[in-house]
Amino acid sequence: MLILAIDTALNACSVAIVRGDAVLAHTSEAMDRGQAERIAPMARDAAAQAGVAFRAIERIAVTTGPGSFTGVRVGLAFARGLALALKVPCVGISTLEALALERGASGARAGWVSTPGASYGALYLDGDARVAPQRFASSDLGRAAFASAAQDMAIAVRGPGADRFGETDRFFVDAAISPDAAALAAMSAQRDPLRHPPAPLYLRAPDARPAEAP
């Protein structure tokens, strides 16, 4: 299956094209903004690098958040629009799950996304969600929830803000800034598009707000 995966939810714009175990193209650019202008050219360049036409793509995968309001919206809009045009399924995967399971599903693995305004986390045991994606008021509360759910297991925590957990004999942290698009593509191959739709999970409300009436 030829899969195009995209991620614009956090602080990067990433695209990968994967067929089976082969990564045909993979590119990522760190950025806080500007994903709307870069995602289409990056997807076009990835297709050229992979030597495939867009019409050959059989599935599209996209991160659904949590992430910035604009970043999540850009990725979902592009993925949905392209899937509609190509008449192929679109699979949505939580940013937290993508971060947590990027390097495998065995053991206790957590995804964590933190900003000054909000934090989200989720914990997976052998790939199954034990702490569902949710908002936490602090990393201390996330640490307590994960430790309780994983009992005595060591926990790998990945994502921006994971370093707030502190490296201990229970927590091994990797403050990755965004999910790996190639791993996202591979993950999506086993998902039922009907059970994993591209529905957004926003980290916080948009900064822009309608003007209030005088």
In tens, the pLDDT along 104-132 reads 999 999 999 987 677 899 999 999 999 99
Residues 111 and 40: their CA atoms lie apart, in Å, by: 27
- Overall average pLDDT of the 63-68 stretch: 91
Residues 6+ apart with CB under 8 A from 53: 47
CB 64, CB 92: distance < 8 Å: yes
Altogether, the residues listed in the chain come to a count of 214
Amino acid at residue number 143 = R
- Overall average pLDDT of the 11-22 stretch: 95
11-15, 50-54, 177-181, 202-206: lowest mean pLDDT where? Answer: 202-206
> What class does CATH assign to 2-95+178-188?
alpha beta
- Whole-prediction pTM: 0.89
30-34, 113-117, 175-179, 196-200: lowest mean pLDDT where? Answer: 113-117
Amino acid at residue number 127 = G
